[in-house]
Amino acid sequence: MRVLFALAFTARVFAQDFSHIEVQRVVKDLHFAEGPVWSYEGFLLFSDTVVDKLHKLTPGAGDAVYAERAGGVIGNAYDMEGRLYTCEFRERRVTRTLKNGKIEVLASRFEGKRFNAPNDIVVRRDGHVYFTDPAFGAQQDTRELDFYGVYHVTPKGELELVAKWKTRPNGIALSPNGRTLYVSDSDERSVRGYDLDGKGIASKERIVVDKISGVPDGLRTDEKGNLYVAAKRVYVYALSNNGPAKLLGEIPVGETPSNIAFGDPDMQTLYITARTSVYRVRLGVKGALPY
């Protein structure tokens, strides 16, 4: 299935003028697709959350079930060593899968209380891990914590609280230099930013994008520092330290997007998980590493 959509991007995003792009559906008949991440081994990994499956999409070879994990797999990320980090919302924990297949529990409690429902995760190049812990739907009924959290796990495995929210954090991403953390706020329809220092410590919380149409979920950045937000559509923003973010363009797909990831060997394709499908869009700009 291939559909052409008009996309108005300014020259600040790409060197070329992309007046039209092609949105291609590459996987269908899923239950609820989430957590896309590109592996340096040459495939896209993503979750089918309702049925607890991880899928592997290899360009030219198609889609296949990669693993079945009963913990409620949702957000995924790789580190620079190729280890897989996964948020498990049913088990209410974050795990790390080693190259030999062994699964480690990275974090499951804060101050003795179980997490709400870890949702999305990102790993900085130096091994600092950040994840969100909201609660949606029935997850609210089993909460032990009286807040929604954004967390940091150091390379030594130490768990730290980045922020306590009254609203629900969802998607999470890093700037290209790893010095800014972005977190979407699904309730306030915004994205917040935090400065990160060399030790991974966050400070200076602020709103970087607001009044987003739809419920903001997954986030990514490209090599130019532009921010991509999965919401009613995929929105692309140029961020500024001196003023409001500027909407550069939008990518409409056939279903409501849940999350996004750059991929393919040149990292110039945006993959979009959207309810029952996965879509791909060639953009001509690279995603920010380490995605």
CA-closest candidate to residue 85, choices 130, 32, 34: 130
Q: What's the pLDDT at 80?
A: 94
Residue type, 100: N
Q: Is the domain defined by 30-263 classed in CATH 3.40.1190.20?
A: no
Q: What is the dihedral of CA 102, 59, 31, 231, to 10 degrees?
A: 100
Q: CA dihedral in degrees (30, 253, 218, 141; nearest 10)?
A: -50
Residue recorded with tokens 């108005």: 8
Q: How far apart are the first and last CA of the chain?
A: 26
- What is the C-alpha to C-alpha distance for residues 176 and 56, in angstroms, rounded to an integer? 25
119: left (phi over 0), alpha (psi -120 to 50) or beta: alpha
**In the numeric block, which tokens belong to residue 159?**
């768990």
Q: Which residues pair with 53 in a beta bridge?
A: 48, 68
User: What is the full per-residue pLDDT of the chain (291 aa) written as tens digits?
Assistant: 444 444 444 334 443 344 468 899 999 999 999 999 999 999 999 999 999 999 999 998 999 999 998 899 999 999 999 999 999 999 999 999 999 999 999 999 999 999 999 999 999 999 999 999 999 888 888 899 999 999 999 999 999 999 999 999 999 999 999 999 999 999 999 999 999 999 999 999 999 999 999 999 999 999 999 999 999 999 999 998 777 899 999 999 999 999 999 999 999 999 999 999 999 999 989 999 765
List the one residue out of 22, 17, 29, 86 whose CA is nearest residue 269: 22
Q: What is the pLDDT of residue 108?
A: 97
Which residues contact residue 117 at a Cβ distance below 8 angstroms, ignoring those fewer than 6 apart? Answer: 72, 89, 90, 92, 133, 134, 135, 136, 139
At residue 137, the pLDDT reads: 83
- CB-based contacts of 48, cutoff 8 Å, min separation 6: 30, 31, 32, 33, 34, 54, 55
Q: How many CA atoms lie within 13 A of 209 on its CB side?
A: 29
Contact between 55 and 35 under an 8 Å Cβ cutoff? The reply is no
pLDDT for the residue numbered 242: 72
Q: In terms of pTM, does the model score above 0.75?
A: yes
